[in-house]
Each structure stands twice: as C-alpha cells, then as structure tokens.
Structure 1
C-alpha cells in the first residue's frame, strides 16, 4: 500500500480551506452564479429532449430554442393559473379581515379554556407584534422591491443562459475531458453522465411529486370545505420543493387563510391533513420517486438548505439539493473524495 504524500490533518485543512474559499466566492458572486446555476440545472434537464430533437433533424439552435420556449410556456401557464387564484383571493381580502378577527376571537377563547391564557396577555403580545411589524415596514417594502427586481432579472437571464448552454454543451463536456490527463478521462466521462442522469431524474421526479402532493392537498382541503383549496394545494406543492422546511411554511399559510375563512376547528383539521400528506410524501413518495436517484441523507439536506438560504437567499434553498447531489456524484467518481461521498449519502443497510 502506498503511503500518503501528506499527513491527514494537512489534507483535511487544505480541503476545509478550499470549501471556505468556494463558499466565500459563492456569496460575493451571488448575482452572477445564481442564474448560471439555475440555467445549468435546466440545461441538464433539457439536454435529453434537445438531443432527441437534434436526432430528428433539428439543428442545434432550433432544438435549443424549441426546448426553452416549451419550458417557458409551461412556466407561464403555471404562473397564470396561480395569478388567477390570487386574484380571486384578493377580491375577498376585505371579508377575510373580519373573518380573521372572528378566528382570533375563537382562538383566544380556545386558549383561555384549554390553557387558561388571559385576555390581557394576548392583547399585549399582539400589540407588541403589531408595533414590531410597523417599525420594520419600510425594510419589508425595500426588500420586496429588491426581490421583485431580482426575479424579473432572473426571468430574463436564465432562459438566455439555458439556450446558450444547450448549444455549447458539447464544448463544455469536451473542455472537462481535456482538462485532465488521459488516465482520468474515463472518470470524467462517467461523472458527466451520472450528473446528467441524477439531475434529469431529480427534476422529473420532483415534477411528479409536486403534482401528486398538490392533488392530495387540494382533495383533502376540498373535503373540509376550504374555499381556497386549489391555491393552497399549489402553494403547498411549490413550497414542498424545499426539503423538510417548506412544509412548515405551507402549514402556516394554510392555517392563516383557513382560520380566516372557515374558523379555527377547520384550520386545525387542515394542519392535520397537511401533516399526514407530508408523512406520506416523506416516507413513500420522496424515497420512491426522488430519493432513489438523489441519495442524500436528511442531516446533510437540512444543513445545505439552511446554508443555501444564508448564501443565496430563497434561490439557494431551491438549488441546494441538486447542487449537493452533483457534488456527491463528483465525490463518488473521484478516488480521493469517496469518503466525502459516503458522508453525504444515505445510510445503506449492512449485510450480515
């Protein structure tokens, strides 16, 4: 067995230092890297249909343009449908204010009867919460405007980047292969193929999972008689993209809307239904549809989602899982980084 060229502590220090430098560069280069990473994920997902169109006689430019346009049409239809639901919700906002106050009164009575919480303490807490929200209102408006501007910029840049990456994807693969010695070219080729397979499977599986979750939430809330069941189902499915953390946001939004329209008892039942759907999704749908392709353990998933939010904000939460999946493929395909691939991956059952 060959001895290591450097001591373990030196190798570990160099790798940790490299990780810190990479994270710092990701933080300061957020404006450029986020749309590039989004476009890269879409490119890996669209590479197969684009190649299929090229095999049918389309040239590269036309095939790439067709795939990007079809993707934009699908996204536009989803946004249009959500906007229609939001428009109906906006019309009922004046009614919701009155119903929300009634829901608060019911909630106050419930807390007083069950937990002996006094009315004065609740009023004091709500007044403090209102003062805090008003004091930060200007900051919220500024943040909202900045976020809207960033979203519009992403909607312009991501399709352009995706189109260009689809055209030049062959050159990128060739560049990666030529950047290493001949003895490593086979490893590089396998890593590229596995990356394409994992991301394509992840994007496709995630789409199927979102449809199933949206359908289950819509059906469950419709049975309860929740007015905005379709809107809440779509929002719940979209928020479910964020592993483990998105479901809590969906539950909070559903609770607030349901308590405003249907009362506290229905709101509590809605939380129960969403929790059951989340259990079905986490234990059945996610492992079978998505988890079989992206084998990342839960601890790493939660850590990278929080880290992604701290570095890149909301887009970082969505990008964290596919990026860590790509990193795991690279670690599994590299001899010196296989232990890191084991650390990132899900626990496998040991043979007796």
Structure 2
C-alpha cells in the first residue's frame, strides 16, 4: 500500500526543492546562461541544418554553414549599430557642452526654488554616486558575463546540433515506452514554441525599429535611426526595456533641442508605438505559440532578472512556455498549466460546484413534491 504523506509535509518538501533549484540556477549561471541561449539558437537553426543535410551536405559542414549565417547576421547588426554610434561620438563634445549648460541651469533652478546650495547639491550627488557603485559593478559583471556567453555560444550550438539525435534518444529512453507519444508531442510543441518565439521577436524588433526611427525622424530628433534600433533591442526585455527605450530619445531631445514640446511629442509617439506593439504585434507575431498571461509574464520576468540579470529577463518567457507545455501534458500538473495560460474562465470551480449542488437540491425537491 502506498504511503500518503500529509499536505504540510509535501508542501514543505516541494518548497525546499524549488529553493534548492533556484539556488543552483544562481550559482551555476555562468555555465547555464550560455547553454540556455545555445539551446534556443540551436533549435532556431535546426531547420536550416536539416535542409542542408537533405541536399547531401555532410552534417558537420551543414552545422558550420548555419553557424556562419547566424554570425554574419549578428556581425551585420553590430556593424550597423557601431556605425551609428560613430556618428554620435563625432558630436560628443558639443553634446557634453550642451549637457553641462543644462545641468548648471538645473542646479540654479534648485537653488532658487528649494534653497538648495550648490555645495549641498554636490554632496547629494556624491552620495548618489556611492549608492550607484554596486549597480555599476553589477552592470560590469553582466557585460563580462555577456562576453563569456559570446565566446561559448558557437561551441555550445555546434555540439548541441551535432549530438541532437543522441539527446533526443536520451529524452525518449528516460521515460517508459508507453509515454513515448506524450514525449514526442512535448518535444515537437517545445521546438515549435521556441522557434515561433525567436522568429516573432526578430520580426517584432524590425517593425518596432522602423516605427521608432520613423517617428523620431518626423520629429527631427538627432540620431533617430540609432535611437530607434536601440529602442527595438531594449524592447526585447518585457516591460522594463520599453521604459528605457522611451527615456533615451527624450534625453537626447532635451540636450539637442530648445523647449519641451519635442519631448512631449516623443512620449506620445512612443506610447502609441507601445500600444501597437502590445496589442497588435505581440499577440499576432510573438505570442502565437507562447500564450502566457500578463500577471505570470511580469512576475517571471522580474524573477528571471533577480536570478540571471538581463539574460534571465529574456529567457524567462520561453522557459515558462516550455513548462506550460509540459504541465498541460501531465494530468497531475494540469492546474499549474492553466494558471500559467491566458484563458480566463467565466466561473471559478467554487461557483460551479455550488451551482451543481443547487441543481441537485432543486431536482430532489421536485421529485419529493411529485411523489
């Protein structure tokens, strides 16, 4: 006879297991982050590798060609951004001069309206700088981590694609043969969800970059294309990236233009673009296969940021989407799959149960009265 443990014991063990799992994710992030990105990119490149192999190209050469295509795409994007940054750096001295003038005017405004002396302002700024040092250190750590990801990514991607059959056989053999159909469905839907998510993100970024750059060009903001592309890249980070994307062109407009009308126009234009993105692009392009509700998306993005930083914020949505696919295929975990999804029922279970009780009661009363 199977022994059943009390609820408080099972919940404690489950909570401890989750805490241990999150701790291991945090400790091993330098290894797991590039591996997670490599798995996503390998799944994205897998159709190209398969097509090349169908044309009788050897497996190793097919993988190398797919990697070269991906690297050329990334190199082209980096060249475009760096060329735009070079234009910005050529006018950096004029921007610094304008920023210094605005900063002095701001200091005088605080001194006149709040009786805050220049010495006191410098003291507050020094304190703020001390408080920002840990954040700067963390940011530098993130940059160094990103460099390690760039070095390890091609190696991981090549090995994952090369040993794809071995990995798939392992996943099938771990489970009993009677579950092979469910395993196949989960793997197929996981591959489809990740491919849809990555391609959707790329298409969304292109459209948002075009909308951002077009709006800034119409408003006459300097470095419009650079700011538009940076805004589209930042938009990949859910919720938080959009705020930074709006702040950058407003700062540039404040430095390069007189008055504040352009800043208000930028805010209106970007809010309109965000509305289009959230209500048209994301539901139709990005979230066609990754259907996670907004509450879970926000929480999981913040949790991903707390554990893995910016990389965790990006990886959190496909990670939770894969979990939902698995939960939906396991009977005991289906309630967890429902809480992650975006389908909102009209009635909750308590209301349905009460409704059934009332119907049974009314039927029994009718039988009694007829008898």
Residues 184-209 of structure 1 deviation map (CA, whole Å, 9 limit, x = unaligned): 12111111000000000000111100
Length-normalised TM-score, structure 2 = 0.85
Match of 1:214 in 2: 209
Change (3 A) 1:93 1:189: same
Match of 1:152 in 2: 147
> How far apart, in 1, do the equivalents of 2:84 and 2:321 lie?
34
Match of 2:173 among 162, 167, 178: 178
Match of 2:192 in 1: 197
Residues 192-247 of structure 1 deviation map (CA, whole Å, 9 limit, x = unaligned): 00000000000011110000000000000100001111011111101111111110
**Preserved CA contact (<8 Å) 1:209 1:286:** yes
Change (3 A) 1:306 1:125: farther
| Offset at residue 151 of structure 1 (A) | 2.2
Match of 1:345 among 325, 341, 344: 341
User: Map of 1:127-142 to 2, 5 A cutoff?
Assistant: 127-128=122-123, 130-135=125-130, 142=137
> How far apart, in 2, do the equivalents of 1:291 and 1:343 lie?
17
**Is 1:163 paired with 2:143?**
no
> How far apart, in 2, do the equivalents of 1:219 and 1:44 lie?
33
**Is 1:320 paired with 2:319?**
no
**Preserved CA contact (<8 Å) 1:306 1:317:** yes
- Unaligned 5+ segments in structure 2 are 348-371
Change (3 A) 1:304 1:70: same
Larger mean Cα displacement after TM superposition, 238-247 or 92-101: 92-101
> How far apart, in 1, do the equivalents of 2:117 and 2:281 lie?
40
**Is 1:226 paired with 2:225?**
no
Change (3 A) 1:122 1:293: farther
Larger mean Cα displacement after TM superposition, 7-16 or 119-128: 119-128
| Offset at residue 48 of structure 1 (A) | 1.4
Match of 2:38 in 1: 39
Residues 141-163 of structure 1 deviation map (CA, whole Å, 9 limit, x = unaligned): 65555444322221110111001
- Unaligned 5+ segments in structure 1 are none
**Is 1:18 paired with 2:17?**
yes
> How far apart, in 1, do the equivalents of 2:200 and 2:110 lie?
42
Give the superposed CA RMSD.
2.7
**Preserved CA contact (<8 Å) 2:142 2:309:** no
**Preserved CA contact (<8 Å) 1:108 1:119:** no
Match of 2:292 among 271, 291, 296: 296
| Offset at residue 15 of structure 1 (A) | 3.2
Length-normalised TM-score, structure 1 = 0.89
| Offset at residue 171 of structure 1 (A) | 1.1
Match of 2:364 in 1: none
Match of 2:351 in 1: none
**Preserved CA contact (<8 Å) 1:296 1:344:** yes
Match of 2:353 in 1: none
**Preserved CA contact (<8 Å) 1:308 1:317:** yes
**Preserved CA contact (<8 Å) 1:198 1:293:** yes
Match of 1:248 in 2: 243
Match of 1:268 in 2: 264
> How far apart, in 1, do the equivalents of 2:107 and 2:266 lie?
19
Give the number of equivalent residue pairs.
345
| Offset at residue 274 of structure 1 (A) | 1.0
> How far apart, in 2, do the equivalents of 1:101 and 1:313 lie?
32
| Offset at residue 269 of structure 1 (A) | 1.4
Change (3 A) 1:60 1:5: farther
Change (3 A) 1:4 1:220: farther
Change (3 A) 1:347 1:141: closer
